[in-house]
Amino acid sequence: MGQSYRDLFAWQKAMRLVIEIYKCTRSFPRDETFGLAAQLRRTAVMIPTSIADGQSRYSPQEFFSFLGRARGALAEVETELILCAELGYLTTEQSENLLGMAAELGKILNGLVNAIRPAA
C-alpha cells in the first residue's frame, strides 16, 4: 500500500463524480440549496474521502472498512440521484450520466474490496 490514495482509480473516479454532482446541483431550485442539493453533495463527498481516509491508514482491515463506508455512501448517492430525477431536478441526460458514473464506480469499488478483503 505504498501508493497515495490519489493514485487509486477508485478515488479518481469518485472525485469526478463529486465534481459532476456539484455542477448539476447548481441549477436545483433555490429552496433545495440547503435540502436535497446539500445532502447529495455531502454524501457524494463521503465517497472519495472514505477511500482516502481508509487507504492512508496502511491497514488492509481498516481500508476494507472504509471502502464499505464508501460503498454505502455510493448507494445513498444513487438513491438521491433517482429522487432528484423523479422530482425533475435533473434532466434525463444528467440522470443517466450520473447514474452511469455511479454504476462504474460501484464496480471499481467492488473490485478493490475483493482485492483487499481480509482473510476470514
Q: Is residue 84 assigned to a domain?
A: yes
Which three cell numbers, joined as nine digits, stand for 109? 469499488
pTM: 0.93
In a domain, 120, yes or no: no
Q: Whole domain around residue 18: which residue ranges?
A: 5-115
Position 120 scores a pLDDT of 53
pLDDT tens-digit series, residues 81-105 = 999 999 999 999 999 999 999 999 9
Interatomic CA distance for residues 69 and 90, integer angstroms: 26
pLDDT score for 1: 45
Helices and strands, counts by H and E, the chain: 4, 0
| Number of structural domains found in the chain | 1
Secondary structure (3-state) at 117 = coil
Which CATH number is 18's domain given? 1.20.1440.60
Closest of 4, 72, 7, 67 to residue 44, by C-alpha: 72
Question: pLDDT exceeding 70 applies to what percent of the chain?
Answer: 97
Cα separation of 88 and 82, whole Å?
10
Residue 36 has pLDDT above 80, yes or no: yes
Who wins on pLDDT, 48 or 120? Answer: 48
Please report where in the chains the cell 454504476 appears, as a residue: 103
**Domain contains 49:** yes
For the purposes of burial, counting CB atoms within 10 Å of the CB of 2, is it exposed (0-12), middle (13-18) or buried (19 or more)?
A: exposed
